[in-house]
Amino acid sequence: MRHPRKLIFVCTGSDCKKSGGKALKKQLKAELKEGQLKGNCKLISTKCMDMCKSAPVVIVEDHFLKKTNFSKVLQQLKKS
């Protein structure tokens, strides 16, 4: 069964956090609360996904985003 909202998994492991994952999560949280994506997405924090060399790691639906940033995540959300 497909979840009615798009799922965004943000790695909150220590390497991703250090590489900007923490700020990215904050930005996404704010965007989901008040921006255009309000009510359409669900943000889920994960532990280390074992891809620390590609930090920060975010998964949007079934797409892995490596060394990502806020605009890349938004772009992917629009595509999926």
Q: Which residues bind ligand FES (CB under 6 A)?
A: 11, 13-16, 48-52, 55, 57
Comparing CB distances to ligand FES, the nearer of 67 and 78 is 67
Q: How far is the CB of 21 from ligand FES (least distance, A)?
A: 7
Closest CB to ligand FES: residue number: 13
Sheet of 41-46: strand order equals 41-46, 6-11, 58-60, 63-65
Closest CA to 58 of 14, 7, 18: 7
Comparing CB distances to ligand FES, the nearer of 32 and 55 is 55
Q: How far is the CB of 72 from ligand FES (least distance, A)?
A: 16
Listing DSSP states for 26-40 in one string gives HHHHHHHHHSTTTTT
Q: How far is the CB of 10 from ligand FES (least distance, A)?
A: 9
Closest CA to 69 of 51, 54, 79: 54
